[in-house]
């Protein structure tokens, strides 16, 4: 990354390196992330602040045996029917992910769902009505996947010792393999009686059918928000909920040779793993006066899969001009030209430019990538960014974003 940029994050955070191994970046260290399965470069990871309320995502404290001793702060397995046994085979490490290898075996006396909570009790973790929560976990199957009828992830609202509602994934069987793969499930707008939130694995078994499946579990995470973010780990062997601070990336316009009118053209590559959730915007590029009052902005608006162009003066944000729609987990290319006289145009993936007028014409100081002054964290990736001091024509901007 160009050393003229200012990058901050007030905590450690995780990412995957070029060989698919989990790494922990120290505070203020940028994270250039890779897909852990394909090892494809994803770019610079920029995320909002999140907390993992699962206190033991490293699955520490497990003791081998049948049933053995569960990791610290994990609930016991609920086998739901007679004829089945659960075994902790061993603690295991896969590409720096630490976890536990389990074996479920026997012949079920009835068709049932076997479950395992990632919390000490069925009441789960404190939550409130109307909140959105996302649970995730890495799973690998060593053998025996064909002996069960289902393998799912569940996030459920708890109230008064019971279940107020739940959100369960479809079957993961077709996606499971010997490679540790991350799965997630989001529960939006928790019911009005909610007092807690729980996160668990569900395994379906069939009456009279022999079961013998060996599988690995790594990195369970439960976070308040409508999308999954990078794995959040407590330090070392600590057993506690842990928070990853937000990433911030900016550069002063003067450092780039851009004046306070903001006159320039900017082009960047990006990728979003998800559309912006309800109530959450994902900012991509912003040029401002060190506040959100006077700015030019490209962002993915809440509850949409489109990118919008805005300008703001004296705290008043214009109506959006839609630049284009993106496909999740696919790279897009964005360009924006500020003319210095209050006008701004933008293009995405070579499409015709859209425009706004009446923007700020003085006092601009800062370019921000992946966030605004107030936050609006990207929860995604910036791959490349270029600044043209002599603004390009609209046709040239469309060509640059192809």
Q: Residue 398 in 3-state DSSP? A: helix
pLDDT category, 251, cuts 50, 70, 90? Answer: very high
CA distance 330 to 48: 20
Ramachandran category for residue 255: left, alpha or beta (phi over 0 → left; psi -120 to 50 → alpha): alpha
Please tell me the chain's helix, strand, coil percentages from 3-state DSSP, rounded to the nearest 5.
Answer: 5, 45, 50
* Token pair 């609006």 in the structure block, residue: 376
CB 144 within 8 A of CB 213: yes
| Cα(181)–Cα(307) distance, integer angstroms | 29
Q: What is the spatial distance between Cα 63 and Cα 258, in angstroms, rounded to a whole number?
A: 60
Could you tell me the fold of the domain covering 52-238?
Jelly Rolls (2.60.120)
Choose the CATH number for 6-48+246-400 among 2.60.120.40, 3.90.120.10, 3.40.50.720, 2.60.120.200. 2.60.120.200
Q: Give the span between the Cα atoms of 99 and 83, in whole angstroms.
A: 26
Q: Residue 111 corresponds to which tokens in the numbers above? A: 């068709």
**pLDDT for the residue numbered 161:** 72
Q: Is 391 left (phi over 0), alpha (psi -120 to 50) or beta?
A: beta
CA 285/CA 266 separation, integer angstroms:
9
> What pLDDT shows up at residue 271?
97
Report phi then psi at 394, rounded to 5: -60, -40
236: region left, alpha or beta (phi > 0 left; psi from -120 to 50 alpha): left
Q: Using CA atoms, how far apart are residues 34 and 44, in angstroms rounded to an integer?
A: 9
Q: Which of 401, 386, 376 is nearest to 46 (CA)?
A: 376
DSSP codes, 162-180: EEEEEEE----GGG--SS-
Q: What is the mean pLDDT of residues 43-53?
A: 97
CA distance 67 to 88: 6
According to the model, what pLDDT value does residue 162 have?
78
Q: Once rounded to an integer, what is the mean pLDDT over residues 316-339?
A: 96
Query: What is the number of other CB atoms lying within 10 angstroms of the CB of residue 25?
Result: 19
Mean of pLDDT values over 299-303: 95
In degrees rounded to 5, what are phi and psi of residue 301?
Answer: -70, 155
* Number of neighbouring beta carbons within 10 Å of residue 71: 23
Where does CATH 2.60.120.200 sit in the chain? Answer: 6-48+246-400
- pLDDT for 277 beyond 90: no
pLDDT in tens, 372-385: 999 999 999 999 99
Q: Where in the chain is the domain with CATH 2.60.120.260?
A: 52-238
- Phi then psi for residue 315, to 5 deg, are 85, 0
pLDDT digits (tens, 9 = 90+) for 16-32: 999 999 999 999 999 99
pLDDT digit string (tens) for 117-134?
999 988 999 999 999 999
- How far apart are the C-alpha atoms of 85 and 318, rounded to whole Å? 61
Cα–Cα distance measured from residue 233 to residue 57, given in angstroms and rounded to the nearest whole number:
6
Q: Which residues pair with 157 in a beta bridge?
A: 165, 197
What is the per-residue pLDDT across 174-226, written as a single tens digit (0 to 9) for each?
999 999 999 999 999 999 999 999 999 999 999 999 999 999 999 999 999 99
Torsion of CA 120, 123, 126, 128, to 10 degrees: 160
Strands 344-348, 354-356: pairing kind: antiparallel
Distance CA 282, CA 377 (A): 6
402 within 8 A of 283, measured Cβ to Cβ: no
The residues that bridge with 309 in the sheet, in sequence order, are 298, 321
Q: Which two tokens stand for residue 74?
A: 């994990």
């Amino acid at each position: 990354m160009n050393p003229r940029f200012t990058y901050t994050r007030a905590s450690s955070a995780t990412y995957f390196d070029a060989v698919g191994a989990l790494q922990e970046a120290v505070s203020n260290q940028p994270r250039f992330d890779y897909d852990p399965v394909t090892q494809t470069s994803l770019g610079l990871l920029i995320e909002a602040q999140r907390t993992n309320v699962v206190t033991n995502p490293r699955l520490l404290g497990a003791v081998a045996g049948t049933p053995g001793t569960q990791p610290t702060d994990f609930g016991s397995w609920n086998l739901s029917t007679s004829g089945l046994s659960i075994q902790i085979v061993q603690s295991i490490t896969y590409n720096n992910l630490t976890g536990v290898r389990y074996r479920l075996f026997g012949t079920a006396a009835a068709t049932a769902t076997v479950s395992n909570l990632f919390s000490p009790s069925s009441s789960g973790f404190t939550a409130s009505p109307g909140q959105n929560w996302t649970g995730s976990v890495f799973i690998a199957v060593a053998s025996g996947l064909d002996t069960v009828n289902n393998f799912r992830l569940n996030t459920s609202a708890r109230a008064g010792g019971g279940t107020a509602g739940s959100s369960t994934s479809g079957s993961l069987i077709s996606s499971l393999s010997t490679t540790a793969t991350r799965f997630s499930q989001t529960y939006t707008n928790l019911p009005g009686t909610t007092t807690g939130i729980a996160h668990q694995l569900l395994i379906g078994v069939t009456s009279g059918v022999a079961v013998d499946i060996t599988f690995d579990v790594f990195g369970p995470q439960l976070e308040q928000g409508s999308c999954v973010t990078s794995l959040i780990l407590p330090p070392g062997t600590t057993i506690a909920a842990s928070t990853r601070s937000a990433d911030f990336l900016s550069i002063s316009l003067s450092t780039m040779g851009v004046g306070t009118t903001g006159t320039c053209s900017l082009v960047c590559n990006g990728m979003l793993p998800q559309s912006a959730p309800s109530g959450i915007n994902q900012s991509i590029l912003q040029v401002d006066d060190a506040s959100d009052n006077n700015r030019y902005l490209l962002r993915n608006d809440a509850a949409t899969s489109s990118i919008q162009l805005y300008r703001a003066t004296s705290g008043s944000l214009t109506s959006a001009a839609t630049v284009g729609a993106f496909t999740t987990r696919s790279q897009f290319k964005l360009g924006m030209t500020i003319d210095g006289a209050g006008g701004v145009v933008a293009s995405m993936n070579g499409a015709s430019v859209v425009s706004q007028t009446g923007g700020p014409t003085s006092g601009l100081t800062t370019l921000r990538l992946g966030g605004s002054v107030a936050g609006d964290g990207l929860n995604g990736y910036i791959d490349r960014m270029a600044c043209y001091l002599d603004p390009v024509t609209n046709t040239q901007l469309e060509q640059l974003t192809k």
